[in-house]
Amino acid sequence: MSNRAKLFLPVVFFLGMLGLLLYGLGRNPGEVPSALLNRALPAFSKPDLLDPARTVSVDDLRGGVFLVNVWATWCPPCHVEHPYLVEISGREPDVTFVGVNYKDDVEAARTFLAERGNPFKINIADVDGRLGVDLGVAGAPETFLIDATGTIRYKHVGVIDNRVWQETFVPLLAELR
Amino acid sequence: MIAKARKPLLQWLLCMLVWLAGGGAFGQLAIEERSFADAEQKARYNDLIADLRCPKCLNSNLAGSDAPIAADLRNEIHDQIMAGRSDAEILDYLVERYGEFVLYDPPLHPGTALLWFGPPVLLLLGVVIVRRMLAATGPGAAPAVLTPAEQQRLQDLLKQQSEP
Amino acid sequence: MIPELGNFALMLALGLALLQSALPLIGAANQNPTWMALGRPLSAGLFVFLLLGFGCLAYAFLHDDFSVAYVARNSNTALPVYYKFAAVWGAHEGSLLLWVLILASWGYAVSLFSQRLPLDIVARVLAVMGLITAGFLVFLLFTSNPFERLLLNTPREGTDLNPLLQDFGLTVHPPFLYMGYVGFSVAFAFAIAALLTGKLDAAWARWTRPWTNAAWAFLTIGIMLGSWWSYYELGWGGWWFWDPVENVSFMPWLVGTALIHSLAVTEKRGVFKSWTVLLALAAFSLSLLGAFIVRSGVITSVHAFAVDPERGMVLLALLLLIIGSSLLLYALRAPVVRGTATYGANSREVFLLLNNLLLVVSMATILLGTLFPLIHEAIYGEANRVSVGPPYFNAVFVPLMAILAFLLGASTFARWKKTSFAHLRQNLSLVLLASVALGVAVPLAVTGGVNPPIMLALALALWIVFGIAKDLWDKTAHRSPRLPALLGLGRSYFGMQLAHLGVAVLICGVCFTSHYSIEQDVRMSPGDELDVSGFTFRFDGVEEVPGPNYTAVRGTISVSRGGEPYMTMHPEKRTYHARGDVQTEADIDVGFFRDLFTALGDPRGDEAWVVRIHFKPFVFWIWFGALLMAGGGVLAVLDKRYRHRSIPATHPQTAAGAGAVGTAGVIQS
């Protein structure tokens, strides 16, 4: 390389870095990916939120498409998301909606579902948050899609609204069926 | 932070709320008492929570976050240490769930080779360049580097400045 | 009315900045003295109008004008007056206005203190600074206008300043930091002017040096204040986390440090010109990169500034314009390195070259570590994110700094051009022996344990200190009496030694604090006692105390030493009314040799609380070392040789000299 050519190295390096930063602008730095993607749903055994005498285990989430929504009454965005979940749960008969009530006051959670509608066929009470840790949950709401083989196929962090549902979940569900 | 820019404003605000609820509350931290069997366990615990990243927060370790998830993970780590599990087992447990994202000390593998080998390679390269520059001169090189014309000009400038 | 006036002032400033970036440059190209001379009055006007704009925003804050959106978001009627003023730069828009104001102040300062510089150089320098100011003013006015109004529904109360910023340390931290960041624009502008004219010579290096030193001293203090603030305000007892926002302030500092040393070689010996000019461009470019990273939210940081990709795009375009064009100019115009250097392998030149190498590799490491999560994601996809944090940076950075500290001590005795090994051995053997012996013996005697990192750190610090002492002794050896001779050594020399002493102090502070701190988080009921390093801490319970815009739970901890009462400490947990934020306020007893650090955790019932008690030896030395370094920079700026009288702009020798220099390998315009 000639001596003059070497002087172009800084500007070339800088343009490369600019490209990287441009790429960086188009993405969301806050979303932590799930390490469990395309892996089996971890084994668990937790009490039913509405019927504490009953135990829900991983075997109850087999043989169909499941949408697992991690929620809590202390989480304001969950309140926003709830009506939409109620709405779509009625529209999607072949998807089983599962609610994981995460680190919540169980009584408050029952009242919440009684008053605002219960979109979930299965309700799991995760009072100590262990199931949340096993799922790699970092907060609420988070939503997982489980396929018929019990494999986690997608994780969504944040509120599900009509746009997210139509753009992300509908195509994925079509694929899973 | 969850805030994604290209979302509508309302959703952005909601995401902010998630983040606040999830506890990015920076400036308020986890000050909590822990009991251990011995000092070694305590040191291991402190090292682990210092070098693990809180998955929900902007950029803080488990030791420095009050987010509920950070508290859960601290509990988990504490329980596992008390149960006699090794550091490697605990790290595997967390990476399995949260990915390498939680490790502030990225392990060496092909994907991180640039990170770990970049600086030493750059330093070596620099040393080679300096050596080559010296080889071009040798110890007996000419004493003055300024050309006579440059010397003259510098002298003139300095003289000009020191004279009122 | 006042906010509109402010807005108007900013628009006028933009007009002036555009004129300043064009007229003097055109004048310089055509050798038109009248047009060239316009740079000075224009820079004064720019400064005045930006000051007016800044004053209008401050007025809006002090008068609680919540019709201004920025004021409504960052102030509150209950906010103390001092913080109302500081809130002007409490968030993105206002801090950007401060940034632009400081940029204009540096430009105005150049116009004031450049009387002895050739007019064509001044014209080009001011034009470059005007162009940068204009770029940022466009960004400010069109994407981040602090005067935007909420006319339809003006809130009756503001949402208050972020409680984290309601603190003295953080109110003075941004101005100092920006003085440093933006100050490098002067060296940048001088470098561009030199590339444009082709007069890249010893005189250029001499003109650049005081400006670089001044900016570097500000940046040093700015970084120190940030570190100090995170130590006492965040309540975690740490002082540096290698967060992206810290890293981006550290990168220009490292390159600025390299530039200071490289400028010395270029001025004294006329070598490394291309390298020095590249460093001058890099220092300011890294400041701009830092501004981009912090304000675009492209990299996850604790510092939640404005996370807004639209602003990010405009900033990126500004980066492309300023940095891209300057580096392109560099590639086209920088002198090609000549093959024959004239210094020996053991000369001061080579020591300074190695200093530059280590500093630049350190900077590159931090850049790589900061951007690596992004690089990794670009290659392996979003599903495989990695984090790079303190363990990585410490592992790479500490060895580099240790080598640098060793070279620093040795280089004191290296002479220009050529130094014999015998000369170095003769000067350094005693210093080496003393520093290693004391470095090993002192920790052993004090703590009774063998601790290699501490011993190495202390030996390195003493190596530097003894080297400085021996040099001062030698320099006055043939004079009597010594004291006047010592004072006659010059401010530059003392500045250098003071800054190097600061490095030694900093090394001690960092290592001793890291290794000897005692950190306890304990549950305490009223009356409980805890012994830490000779001090007894007794928890006496908590009470509620009202603050101006918050309510605090205030703990009382009585500290005694050897049975004697020593002091009472009051850590607080504050709940701010407007936002409901909870803020931990540590109480720290600052000492020269140790800090006592207390903070309140959560209540645990029965009046019991979790209390954090830290004993931190030598932590003060970290900030003290940084202050010494900054003081050294200031002393060097005040050196007499930078304050000689002016030379005429059209000095015949300049032209003749430049012609001659051109034949010696410097590109001519």
A53–chain C Cβ distance below 8 A for any pair: no
pLDDT, tens digit (0-9, with 9 covering 90-100), for A46-94: 888 888 888 888 888 888 889 999 988 888 888 888 888 888 888 888 8
- In degrees and rounded to multiples of 5, residue C438 shows phi and psi of -70, -35
Q: Please report, for the domain that includes residue A44, its CATH number.
A: 3.40.30.10
**Which residue shows structure tokens 């079509």?**
A174
> Coil, strand, or helix at residue B21?
helix
Q: What is the mean pLDDT of residues C116-135?
A: 91
What is the pLDDT at residue C498?
93
Cβ neighbours, 10 Å, residue C166:
25
Contact C334, C232 (CB under 8 A): no
Closest-CA distance, C265 to chain B, in angstroms, reads: 11
Contact A133, B73 (CB under 8 A): yes
Contact A122, A96 (CB under 8 A): yes
What is the pLDDT at residue C216?
96
What is the pLDDT at residue B158?
61
Residue A177: which residues within 8 A CB-CB, separation 6 or more? A65, A94
Q: Is the pLDDT of residue B163 over 60?
A: no
What is the pLDDT at residue C623?
92
Element (H, E) at A55: strand A55-57
**Which residue shows structure tokens 């990695």?**
C386
Q: Is C312 in contact with A20 (Cβ distance < 8 A)?
A: no
pLDDT range class, residue C631, cuts 50, 70, 90: very high
From chain B residues 68-97, the ones with a CB under 8 A of any chain C CB are none
What is the pLDDT at residue A165?
87
pLDDT, tens digit (0-9, with 9 covering 90-100), for C27-78: 888 888 889 888 899 999 999 999 999 999 999 999 988 888 889 888 888 8
Burial bucket for residue B124 (CB in 10 Å: 0-12, 13-18, 19+): exposed
pLDDT, tens digit (0-9, with 9 covering 90-100), for C147-173: 988 877 778 788 777 777 787 877 888
E strands, C496-549, are 518-524, 529-532, 535-546
Closest-CA distance, C51 to chain B, in angstroms, reads: 33
Q: What's the CA gap between C82 and C85, in Å, rounded?
A: 5
**Dihedral of alpha carbons C457, C463, C464, C465, sign:** positive
From chain C residues 215-234, the ones with a CB under 8 A of any chain B CB are 233-234
Q: DSSP letter string over C233-256?
A: HSSSS-S----HHHHHHHHHHHHH
pLDDT range class, residue C138, cuts 50, 70, 90: very high
Q: Is A11 in contact with C377 (Cβ distance < 8 A)?
A: no
B31–chain C Cβ distance below 8 A for any pair: yes
Q: Is A31 in contact with B2 (Cβ distance < 8 A)?
A: yes
Residue C396: which residues within 8 A CB-CB, separation 6 or more? B119, C365, C369
**Which residue shows structure tokens 């940084």?**
C626
Q: What's the CA gap between B46 and C502, in Å, rounded?
A: 31
Q: Is B137 in contact with C664 (Cβ distance < 8 A)?
A: no
Q: Is the pLDDT of residue A142 over 50?
A: yes
Integer angstrom CA distances of residue C311 from B2, B79, C291:
18, 45, 11
Contact C161, C550 (CB under 8 A): no
* Partner residue facing A138 (CB), from B15, B56, B58: B56
Q: What's the CA gap between C600 and C235, in Å, rounded?
A: 9
Percentage of chain C with pLDDT > 70?
A: 93
pLDDT range class, residue C17, cuts 50, 70, 90: very high
β-pairing verdict for C550-561 and C535-546:
antiparallel
- In degrees and rounded to multiples of 5, residue C196 shows phi and psi of -65, -45
Q: Is residue A114 part of a domain?
A: yes
Per the model's pLDDT, the better-predicted residue between C669 and B27 turns out to be B27
HSE-CB of C434 using CA atoms within 13 angstroms: 15
Sheet holding C587-589, edge to edge: C518-524, C609-617, C594-603, C587-589
* Partner residue facing A30 (CB), from B2, B11, B23: B2
Per the model's pLDDT, the better-predicted residue between C228 and B4 turns out to be C228
Highest-confidence segment of C114-123, C283-292, C485-494: C283-292
Average pLDDT, chain C: 86
pLDDT range class, residue B15, cuts 50, 70, 90: very low
The answer for C271, left when phi > 0, alpha when psi is -120 to 50, beta otherwise, is beta
Contact B22, C358 (CB under 8 A): no
Q: What's the DSSP call for residue C144?
A: -
Q: At what angle do helices C348-380 and C273-296 cross, to 10 degrees?
A: 40
Contact A122, A61 (CB under 8 A): yes
Q: What angle do CA A121, A122, A128 make, to 5 degrees?
A: 150
ipTM of the complex: 0.86
Per the model's pLDDT, the better-predicted residue between C668 and C105 turns out to be C105
HSE-CB of C453 using CA atoms within 13 angstroms: 12
Among chain B residues, the shortest Cα distance to A162 is held by: B11
A138–chain C Cβ distance below 8 A for any pair: no
What is the pLDDT at residue B161?
52
Lowest mean pLDDT among A96-100, C459-463, C475-479, C537-541: C475-479
Among chain C residues, the shortest Cα distance to A17 is held by: C371
The distance between the two most distant Cα atoms of chain C, rounded to a whole number of Å, is: 86
Domain ranges of chain C: 1-166, 420-516+621-627, 518-618
Among chain C residues, the shortest Cα distance to B118 is held by: C365
Q: Is the pLDDT of residue C667 over 80?
A: no
Q: What's the CA gap between C367 and A23, in Å, rounded?
A: 17
> Coil, strand, or helix at residue A100?
strand
Q: What is the mean pLDDT of residues C563-583?
A: 86
Q: What is the mean pLDDT of residues C549-576?
A: 90
List of chain C residues whose C-beta atoms are within 8 Å of the C-beta of residue B161: 116, 641, 644-645, 647
Q: Is the pLDDT of residue B24 over 50?
A: no
Q: What is the mean pLDDT of residues C513-531?
A: 88
pLDDT range class, residue A25, cuts 50, 70, 90: confident
What is the pLDDT at residue C322?
94
> Coil, strand, or helix at residue A65?
strand
Cβ neighbours, 10 Å, residue C219:
29
Cβ neighbours, 10 Å, residue C659:
12
Query: In the beta sheet, which residues pair with residue C538?
Result: C529, C558
The residue of B51, B100, B117, B123 whose CB has the most chain C CBs within 10 angstroms, and thus the best one to mutate to test that interface, is B123
* Partner residue facing A35 (CB), from B11, B15, B96: B96
Closest-CA distance, A118 to chain C, in angstroms, reads: 32
Among chain C residues, the shortest Cα distance to A3 is held by: C336
Q: Is C379 in contact with B60 (Cβ distance < 8 A)?
A: no
Q: Is the pLDDT of residue B13 over 70?
A: no
β-pairing verdict for C582-585 and C572-576:
antiparallel
A20–chain C Cβ distance below 8 A for any pair: yes
The residue type of B5 is: A
C301–chain B Cβ distance below 8 A for any pair: yes
Map B30-59 to HEC letters: CCCCCCCCCHHHHHHHHHHHHHEECCCCCC
Q: Is the pLDDT of residue C354 over 70?
A: yes
From chain A residues 24-43, the ones with a CB under 8 A of any chain C CB are 24-27, 29-34, 37
Q: Is B21 in contact with A77 (Cβ distance < 8 A)?
A: yes
List of chain A residues whose C-beta atoms are within 8 Å of the C-beta of residue B56: 32, 138-139
The answer for A117, left when phi > 0, alpha when psi is -120 to 50, beta otherwise, is left
> What is this structure's pTM?
0.87
The residue type of C365 is: T
A93–chain C Cβ distance below 8 A for any pair: no
Among chain C residues, the shortest Cα distance to A9 is held by: C331
Contact C314, A4 (CB under 8 A): no
Lowest mean pLDDT among A96-105, C549-558, C615-624, C641-650: C641-650
Q: Is B141 in contact with C390 (Cβ distance < 8 A)?
A: no
What is the pLDDT at residue B70?
85
Q: What is the mean pLDDT of residues A28-40?
A: 67
Q: What is the mean pLDDT of residues C200-205?
A: 85
pLDDT, tens digit (0-9, with 9 covering 90-100), for C371-423: 998 899 888 877 778 889 999 999 999 999 999 999 998 888 877 877 777 77
Expressed as residue numbers, the domain containing A39 is 33-176
Q: Which two tokens stand for residue C79?
A: 């906010």
Per the model's pLDDT, the better-predicted residue between C578 and C131 turns out to be C131
> Coil, strand, or helix at residue C610?
strand
* Partner residue facing B99 (CB), from C116, C385, C391: C385
pLDDT range class, residue B116, cuts 50, 70, 90: very high
Chains with at least 3 CB pairs less than 8 angstroms from chain C: A, B
HSE-CB of C42 using CA atoms within 13 angstroms: 29
Q: Which two tokens stand for residue B83?
A: 């149960």
What is the pLDDT at residue C156?
78
Determine the CATH number of domain B9-102.
1.10.8.640
Q: Is the pLDDT of residue C545 over 70?
A: yes
Percentage of chain B with pLDDT > 70?
A: 64
Q: Is C292 in contact with A10 (Cβ distance < 8 A)?
A: no
Q: What is the mean pLDDT of residues B33-41?
A: 84
Average pLDDT, chain A: 85
Q: Is the pLDDT of residue B34 over 90?
A: no
Among chain A residues, the shortest Cα distance to C330 is held by: A7
Q: Is B72 in contact with A80 (Cβ distance < 8 A)?
A: no
- In degrees and rounded to multiples of 5, residue B53 shows phi and psi of -90, 140
Q: Is the pLDDT of residue C644 over 70?
A: no
Query: In the beta sheet, which residues pair with residue C539?
Result: C557
Name the domain count of chain A. 1
Q: What's the CA gap between A70 and A132, in Å, rounded?
A: 8
Q: What's the CA gap between C2 and C601, in Å, rounded?
A: 45
Among chain A residues, the shortest Cα distance to C375 is held by: A20
B135–chain C Cβ distance below 8 A for any pair: no
Closest CA to B88 of B50, B40, B48: B48
Domain ranges of chain B: 9-102, 110-162
Closest CA to B72 of A137, C521, A74, A33: A137
pLDDT range class, residue B164, cuts 50, 70, 90: very low
B106–chain C Cβ distance below 8 A for any pair: yes
What is the pLDDT at residue C107?
93
Q: What is the mean pLDDT of residues C212-230?
A: 92
Closest-CA distance, B124 to chain C, in angstroms, reads: 10
Contact C252, C179 (CB under 8 A): no
From chain C residues 567-606, the ones with a CB under 8 A of any chain B CB are 581-584, 599-602, 604
Chains with at least 3 CB pairs less than 8 angstroms from chain B: A, C
What is the pLDDT at residue B141?
43
